[in-house]
Every structure is written in structure tokens, then in C-alpha cells.
Structure 1
Amino acid sequence: MHLNWKTGVAVPKYADAEMNAALQRKIRAATDDDLLASLLHFTEGRVALSRYRSFDVLLSELRREEAHAGKLEGDDDSPLCFEYRQANYRLLQGLRGEVTRIETARNEIGSVWHSLREASTGDLARRYQSCADAGEFELDAIGPLKRALMPSWDRLIAILSRHREEVHALALQDVEFQAFAATSDSIALEQFDRMTPLQFEQAIAELVQRDGYALARRNGGARDLGADVIATAPDGRKIVFQCKHRQPGGRPLGSPVIQTLNGTARPVHKADIVIAVTNASFTSPAHALAVEQDIHLLFGPRLRRWATWGIPLLMVLGIEAETAQEAA
């Protein structure tokens, strides 16, 4: 075998003479085919490892963004808290999908590299002398995977850009809500707590008028039959409110309140929409009965969205507005 000894590569010298002799024998027995096959095999391994590292870089970036997205939370004091959390959830789900896709591809490339490493213990010259057709070599499986790398980077950029655009749009809406909260049309929950029961009823009536509803009753009394505030929406539907004011820290309202309201709101007052509103909260049985009887509970975050941030009542309750013709 001919070796160009002018190369900068030196033959290793081992401390054990027998090891040196064995190495020299192998070198003298090597053919040009052996050398070329070794180079080809080494190069295949380097290509596989290079592709593996490319996918590993993307996977690390995806996992970094995934960890960041997992820490994002909605601002509980924002009227768009739910929308923020939905945007963050979509971001997290998109990143997790890409993590799974890239991790699978990277592991497949890793399997190719391990197969090549195992093949190094065999007859490499025979491996390449066979003139195998395309598709018989392990490295051939990496081609389709490599072509998926750039689209995955593009998807990552698109996922992050879409989330930034969503959050930016929500932030602009938040500015408008903050501006509204600074006006006299806004009522903070803390203000409700400082009111008397009568003032609470009158405040609800003012909010009803703020939404453009025609007010038929502003506050209740001894003979109100469970209807403290009565109004008619622009679409013609009649809305009956029962207002229950509690001192801060008071006990939640129970199902008897809902039972009383249910007994009069529709049979007596002919209500289309029935609402129990409080500055406190409701018990689980009260919630269950309200759902069963199609009575809306307005308190806490829902009351804040309506009173403080100015979101229309029907939108807060998740009720679609009817046209006048539909109402008729």
C-alpha cells in the first residue's frame, strides 16, 4: 500500500510494543479501497452528526420558548384575562407540536448515526464495494428529514409572530379599557362594597341605563316581588335584576335567593332574562340551581367586566343580542 508520508497525519506510537506492531501490520495490509472506505464511512458519520446538531439547536430553541410560554399568565385584573390566557395557550400548544416533530426527527438522525457507528466494526471496503443503489445506505434516510428543518424554523418564527400580534392587539384593547375605567361611567368593585343596599340597586340601575336600556324600575322595595331593577334591552327583551348587597367578607348567597327569584321573575314579571347580582358570591347549590333555571349570576370578575370596564351586559353574560324582529 502506498502512503503519502508528507501528510501531517502521524501514525500513533503506543507504549506497548505489541500494540505498535499490530498497528503496523494492519497499515501494511490496508489497500486503497480500505482507505477510501474508511474516509467515506467517517464522512458519513460526520454528515449525520452535523445534521443531528442542526436539529438539536432548533430543539433547544423550541424548548426554551416552550419553557417561557409555560410561565406566561393572564392578568387577573384585566378584562381580557381570558383572551390573554387563550393566546398563551395557543402559543404553548404550537410550540409543543413543533418540539414533538423536531425531537422525533432528531432521534431518527441519532439512530442513523448509531447504525453507522456499529457498521465501523465490519468490513468497510466490502460495504462500499457493493456499489449499492441509493436507499441502501443509512444516511439516505436523513435527506427528507433535513428538508424539514428550515420549514420548522419558519413555523417557529410564525408561531412567535402570531402570538406577538395577538398580545399586541389585546394590549391596545386593554389601553381602551383602562381609559374607560378612569371615567365617571366606571364603577370599581371596591365602590360597591362601600355602598348601602339601596345605593347598590341604584348603581345597577345606572349601569343598565349606561348600556342604553330603558329603565322601568330603579330600585326595589317591600312589594318588589324579587325584582329590584327592571329594564328593557334595545332588542325588546325584558330583564329582571335581583340585587343582593353584602358587607365585605360576608357569606356567599345560597340557593333560597335563586328559588325566590325563579318563583317571580318569569311568572310574575314576564322576564326574558333573569339576573341575580351581588358584590359577594354564590354557593355551589345556588350555581347549580341557577344553571337549571336559566338564571344568570353576576358577581366578581363578571361584575367587574360590566361595571368597571364597560363591556356590554349581554356580552358579559354570553347572550347574543336579538334583532327587533327576532324578539317579536
Structure 2
Amino acid sequence: MHINWKSNVALPSYDDAELTEALNRRVRDATDDDLLSSFLHYAEGCVAMSAYTDFDQLLTKLLAEETDSRKLHGDDDSPLKFEYRQANYRLHRDLTAEVTKAQKIRDEIGNVWHALRSATPEGLNHRYRPNADPAESGLDSIGPLIRALDPMWHRLCIILAQHRDTVHELALRDAEFQAFAATAGSITLEQFNGMAPLEFEQAVANLTQRDGHVVEQRHGGARDLGADVIATTPDGRRIVFQCKHRRPGGRPLGSPVIQTLNGTARPVHNADIVIAVTNASFTTPAHKLAAEQEIHLLFGEQLRKWATWGVPLLSVLELEASLAMRAA
């Protein structure tokens, strides 16, 4: 074969003379079709490898972000720790989905490249004949895959930006809670533990009033019929609290407390919202009965949100949406 254009490429000369001669003979016997089809085959391989490399870079970035997302944790001492965990979970979930998609596309492109790589020289001229089917090389199948690259990079930017914005908003809200915790209106769980039962009831009444509810009864007594604190919300709903103070380390409150409250809160006190509040905790049967009778249990982290961090009662009980609907 004669090459009719100038070239800086020279045939290699091996130490083994027979090997060099075998290569020269192969080149001499090659036709123009052999040369062009070999170049086209090489070019297709370059296109496939370039696409594979592009998606491999995307996958590397996604895997790095996914790994970092596993290390994210909300502040366990924040009233928004659940929201932080939700945001981090969504980030990890979305990144994992993108990793799966990018890996699938990269591997599909890799399969095309390996198919091209395994094609025999004898079949190249047949593949590149006039009117040949482009799909035969397999390269045509990666066209739509390549077009997915830029949108996937864009999607990654959106996922990261959304998480940053969410965490930033949570941090601003957290700062407000931290500021409230530094005021005299904040009550810690340790302070609750040091109170007498009457002080505990009065503290609950003060917190209820702080949230803008009208307090009608500030503490219970011998004939309170299960109601220690009674208040009315701005939209007219009646809240009845049963307050149970326990010394630190005391036993959890059982279902009898819930039974008593359930028997009087609505029938006697016309309650719309019934709450059992304690500085201790509740037994599993108490939780079950309270759920069945739509009685709210306020203790532990929820009590801390309300008293220490200043989160409004209806927000803590997830009743704000109901309030908004009534106002509308």
C-alpha cells in the first residue's frame, strides 16, 4: 500500500527481524479500504472512550458527594434535629439515585467500547461499506446517553444547592431557638425536675399563656376532675392539661392516668385538645391508649422543644395546620 501524503509517522522496527517483516508485510498488503476502515474503527473507539470518561468523571463526583452525605449529622441538641436528619436523608437519597443512573449509563457506554474493541479487522470493511447500518457498530446507541450528561451535571448542582439552602434556613431558625434558650422564659428539663408539683402546673400554665392562649385555670386541686390547666386557643379550641410531676428516676406513667383523663377531659371539661404532660415518661400501654383516644403525650424532647426552645405548643403537637384551616 502506498501512502500518498506526507506523514511524520514511521513504521516501528523491532529487535526481532521476523516480527518487523511480518508487520511490514501486513502494511504492504493493506488496501485503502483497510486503512480508512481501521481509522474509522479507531475513531469510533475514541468517541466511545471519551463518553465513558465523561460519565466516569461525573460518577466519581457523585460518589464523593454521596460518601460525604453519609457523614452529615444534625445537632442532637437542636429542636430541629429531625429536620436536619430529613434534609440529610433527602440529599443522600437523591445522590444515590443519581449514582445508580450514572453508573448504568457509564457501563452501557463501556459495553459499546468493549464491543468495538473486540471487532476483528476482517470485519471492518464490511461494517463501513456504503449504505451500511450505523447501528452495527453499536456506537449509535450511546448518542442519547451522551446527551444526558449535561442535564445530570445540572441535576447534581440543583441537589447540592437545595440541600445548602435547606440547611441554611434551618441554621437561621436554630439561631432563634438558641437565642430563646438564653432568656429567662426558657425552662430546661433539669429545672422541671427540681420543681414541686404545683410549680410544675404553674409553669405549664405560663408556657401556655406565652403562646397566646387564654389560661382559664392555672393549677389543679382535690376536685379538679383530671384537669390541672385549662386554656383556650385564639380560634376558640379548649385545651385541657393533666400535669404529672415525678422525681428524677421515677417510674413511667401508666395507662390509668390516661384512662382518668379520657373519662373527664371531653365529657366534663369540653376539651378539644387533651394533653397529658410530665417531666418523666409514659409506658407502652399508656402510649397505645393515648393514641386510640386522641390524647397528646407531652414529655421528653417534645416538652423540651416547647419549654426550652420556645417552639409553640400547637407546632410541637403538629396542630398548627388545623389552626390555619379554621382561621381560613
Q: Same fold (TM over 0.5)?
A: yes
Which residue of structure 2 aligns with residue 99 of structure 1?
A: 99
Superimposed CA distance per residue, residues 282-310 of structure 1 (whole angstroms, 9 cap, x where no aligned partner): 11111000000111000111111111121
CA RMSD of aligned residues (A): 2.3
Task: Give the number of aligned pairs.
Answer: 326
Which residue of structure 2 aligns with residue 253 of structure 1?
A: 253
Listed as ranges, the matches of 1:108-257 within 5 Å are 108-257=108-257
Give the letter aligned to residue 146 of structure 2: K
Which residue of structure 2 aligns with residue 29 of structure 1?
A: 29
- Secondary structure of 1:303's match? helix
Q: Establish whether residue 10 from structure 1 lines up as the match of residue 11 from structure 2.
A: yes
Q: Is the 8 A contact 1:235 1:324 kept in 2?
A: no
Distance 1:62 1:321 in 2: 37
Distance 1:147 1:37 in 2: 26
Give the letter aligned to residue 190 of structure 2: E
Distance 2:158 2:8 in 1: 49
Which residue of structure 2 aligns with residue 88 of structure 1?
A: 88
Which residue of structure 2 aligns with residue 265 of structure 1?
A: 265
Q: Which stretch of structure 1 is more off in the superposition, 6-15 or 299-308? A: 6-15
Which residue of structure 1 aligns with residue 308 of structure 2?
A: 308
Using the TM superposition, give the Cα deviation of residue 326 of structure 1 relative to its aligned residue in structure 2, in angstroms: 5.6
Give the letter aligned to residue 60 of structure 1: T
Distance 2:272 2:91 in 1: 40
Using the TM superposition, give the Cα deviation of residue 243 of structure 1 relative to its aligned residue in structure 2, in angstroms: 0.9
Using the TM superposition, give the Cα deviation of residue 155 of structure 1 relative to its aligned residue in structure 2, in angstroms: 0.9
Using the TM superposition, give the Cα deviation of residue 134 of structure 1 relative to its aligned residue in structure 2, in angstroms: 4.1
Which residue of structure 1 aligns with residue 274 of structure 2?
A: 274
- Secondary structure of 2:2's match? coil
Using the TM superposition, give the Cα deviation of residue 164 of structure 1 relative to its aligned residue in structure 2, in angstroms: 0.7
Distance 1:46 1:324 in 2: 61
Using the TM superposition, give the Cα deviation of residue 55 of structure 1 relative to its aligned residue in structure 2, in angstroms: 0.2
How many percent identity over aligned positions?
Answer: 64
Which residue of structure 2 aligns with residue 79 of structure 1?
A: 79
Using the TM superposition, give the Cα deviation of residue 204 of structure 1 relative to its aligned residue in structure 2, in angstroms: 0.6
Give the letter aligned to residue 49 of structure 1: M
Using the TM superposition, give the Cα deviation of residue 125 of structure 1 relative to its aligned residue in structure 2, in angstroms: 2.3
**Residues 163, 317 of structure 1: alpha-carbon distance in 2 compared, 3 angstrom cutoff:** same
**Residues 283, 235 of structure 1: alpha-carbon distance in 2 compared, 3 angstrom cutoff:** same
Q: Which stretch of structure 1 is more off in the superposition, 312-321 or 298-307? A: 312-321
**Residues 112, 186 of structure 1: alpha-carbon distance in 2 compared, 3 angstrom cutoff:** same
**Residues 323, 98 of structure 1: alpha-carbon distance in 2 compared, 3 angstrom cutoff:** closer
Distance 1:12 1:141 in 2: 39
Q: Which runs of 5+ in 2 are unaligned?
A: none
Distance 2:150 2:173 in 1: 35
Q: Which stretch of structure 1 is more off in the superposition, 201-210 or 21-30? A: 21-30
Please report the TM-score for the alignment, with normalisation by the length of structure 1: 0.92
**Residues 313, 5 of structure 1: alpha-carbon distance in 2 compared, 3 angstrom cutoff:** closer
Using the TM superposition, give the Cα deviation of residue 138 of structure 1 relative to its aligned residue in structure 2, in angstroms: 1.6
**Residues 324, 165 of structure 1: alpha-carbon distance in 2 compared, 3 angstrom cutoff:** closer
Which residue of structure 2 aligns with residue 318 of structure 1?
A: 318
- Secondary structure of 1:240's match? strand
Give the letter aligned to residue 120 of structure 1: T
Distance 1:12 1:46 in 2: 26
Q: Is the 8 A contact 1:205 1:229 kept in 2?
A: yes
Superimposed CA distance per residue, residues 177-200 of structure 1 (whole angstroms, 9 cap, x where no aligned partner): 111111111111121112122211
Using the TM superposition, give the Cα deviation of residue 32 of structure 1 relative to its aligned residue in structure 2, in angstroms: 2.0
Superimposed CA distance per residue, residues 231-256 of structure 1 (whole angstroms, 9 cap, x where no aligned partner): 12222222111111122222221111
